[in-house]
Amino acid sequence: MIRVEKQAWEAMVSHGESTFPKECCGVMLGSDGVVAEAIALPNVYTGPQEDFFVMDPADLNRVDREARKRGLDILGVYHSHPNCDAYFSKRDLANSCSWFSYVVLSIKNGRFDHANSYRPDFDQKEAPQEELIYG
Amino acid sequence: MAKILIPTPLRQYAGKHDAVEMSGATVGEVLNSLTSHYADLRRHLYNDEGKLRSFVNVYVNDEDIRYLDKEATALKDGDTVSIVPSIAGGSAGIAAPPLTLNKDEILRYSRHLIMPEVGMEGQLKLKAAKVALIGTGGLGAPLGMYLAAAGIGRIGLVDFDVVDFTNLQRQVIHGTKDVGRKKLDSAAETMLDINPHIEIDRFETALSSENALQILKDYDFVVDGTDNFPTRYLVNDACVLLGKVNVYGSIFRFEGQATVFAYPGGPCYRCLYPEPPPPGLVPSCAEGGVLGILPGTIGLIQATETVKLILGIGEPLVGRLMLYDALAMRFRELKLRRNPECPVCGDHPTIRELIDYQQFCGIPNQPHEPVAVEGDIDPVEVKAKMDRGDSFVLIDVREPHEYQICRIPNAKLIPLGDLPKRVNELDSADEIVAHCKSGVRSAKAVDFLKQAGFRKVRNMKGGILAWSDKVDPSVPKY
């Protein structure tokens, strides 16, 4: 289960809406399974970003170090699916990292629609859904 | 000794430490010490073949080891090794879980679901389908509304126009409140009101040779709701080049046509009409008028064919041109065949990319500013002549039914077609001004009269529409 506090949740939703119709991505910081802060990261994918995102590992490294200093952990990552549902796609699975919760935000016609969270396995074969509580 | 920073989720496997000191001369050695010491950590970093998992990046200080010597990268005392996952993904690659209908959708599509020809399987095909709709005007209005209602999962709308009052007689997707709004927004709003379970992509642009392939490539079917020849040829060629089916319809006054073009093995628009008509020969709806209901009938034939094609049921309207005559209330069918010599879909195509369709249809690319033709007169000047009491004859060359809509006081009605036989009603000694709706027909009248020996004849620029704008706004525009 992952819980996202209101302020962090609103930041994620508005990030997803602002990059629409492109995918957004970011990191969720907090502790004990509760996300207190969302950090928007640039989507550095050089191709069409409507259905793909890539985080720069250097950004991730930097965020991780800054979070450590403030006593926060990276609990998960989020990204948006513009104009489609918040499923965990083949592409998501093929690029997944089993360490994190993956929150997927469905943004339809520029507005938040719904969201789900997933926990991919080591081998990138399955990503069971987990309970997501937000707001 | 190097310091290894442990990512949060992995600390539980590393004695809850956020950083550990390990010895080793290279990154590989240090990571090996780490995973020997904390065995549970190993499977999170390495796969069964003993290689670092694809999502694991290792940094030495701020450098990615992929750009150094990879796992052989040498370490000195005090270096910091970070383990950073690579995070990527995206919606592409088809939803891992198959599409389903939720409870609301099941209720909504009940009348489809209880027919075995559609059923759950068919309704899911509709939901998975992506349809591009070119134009949200006369044909696009019923198309958009019914395709939305039917549950087509994704509909792309292409339009750049704004709703005006003359649209409302037939474009039922827009309402009076929408006049002045973008058709795209007005149409999407109506469609999402009918069915919020669908997705709409909006392309606020005129479809062109530059953007057509890019816009249409992501859709399964293309429905042509356009009203002009260049765009029809463009849509046709783009569909043939992309291998997409083109569901075609066209309307004029009381008659319409519909068929399915570019279906595998079937004909395309160019097989039917290899060459466009000369510009101006076939009047548009704006020029020739159209029965407001007509696009409803034709648009719904297109919608029916689109849904049938998606479901894969029935007999598609391929190789058959459906002709509809609303006055006779009769449908007829013409057989169409693919032309093996067709320049775009034939056996040896010569058109392999999109061309300049304005030029192909004989329409100048840059509509130049109308040059003041000798013999033109502005409506304001005509009014001034009237007010001064100048002696001249104003003739109105429109049709009687147009004259009934509005007229300029004291104008003499002689429809353009009647002019040759009624020319004797005019005196070549008089000064004559001719007008029509917008100035095109009256220019022809002026030409005719000049050839007939009239010297003092002028065309009122912009017709009665310009009169309404510049002289008397109480004159209704139509």
Residue B48 binned pLDDT confidence (cut-offs 50, 70, 90): confident
Mutate to test the interface with A, among B4, B8, B57, B199 (most CBs of A within 10 A): B8
Look at residue B368 and tell me whether its pLDDT is greater than 50: no
B98 touches chain A (CB under 8 A): no
Look at residue B61 and tell me whether its pLDDT is greater than 50: yes
Q: What is the mean pLDDT of residues A123-133?
A: 88
Residues B268, B285, B342, B361: which is the catalytic one? B285
CA distance linking residue A87 with residue B99, whole number of Å: 10
A92 touches chain B (CB under 8 A): yes
pLDDT of residue B364: 65
CA distance linking residue B95 with residue B239, whole number of Å: 26
- Domain residue extents for chain B: 2-85, 103-360, 376-470
Q: What is the CATH number of domain B103-360?
A: 3.40.50.720
pLDDT of residue B466: 95
- Say which CATH architecture domain B2-85 belongs to: Roll (3.10)
Q: What is the CATH number of domain B376-470?
A: 3.40.250.10
A112 touches chain B (CB under 8 A): no
Look at residue B67 and tell me whether its pLDDT is greater than 90: no
**Interface ipTM above 0.85:** yes
A73 touches chain B (CB under 8 A): yes
HSE toward the beta carbon, residue B286, CA cutoff 13 A: 11
pLDDT of residue B367: 45
- Domain residue extents for chain A: 2-134
pLDDT of residue B157: 97
Convert the pLDDT of each residue in B155-169 to its tens digit: 999 999 999 999 999
Q: What superfamily does domain A2-134 belong to in CATH?
A: Cytidine Deaminase, domain 2 (3.40.140.10)
Lowest-confidence region among B227-241, B266-280, B386-400: B266-280
pLDDT of residue B150: 98
Q: What is the mean pLDDT of residues A48-62?
A: 86
CA distance linking residue B147 with residue B309, whole number of Å: 13
pLDDT of residue B435: 96
Distance from CA of B6 to the nearest CA of A (A): 10
Convert the pLDDT of each residue in B413-446 to its tens digit: 999 999 999 999 999 899 999 999 999 899 999 9
Distance between alpha carbon B320 and the CA centroid of its chain, in Å? 25
CA distance linking residue B248 with residue B255, whole number of Å: 14
Test B90 with A94 for CB contact under 8 angstroms: no
Q: What is the pTM of this model?
A: 0.56
Q: Are B200 and B185 contacting, i.e. CB atoms less than 8 angstroms apart?
A: no
φ, ψ for residue A52, nearest 5 deg: -155, 145
Q: Which helix (H) or strand (E) holds B403?
A: helix B400-403
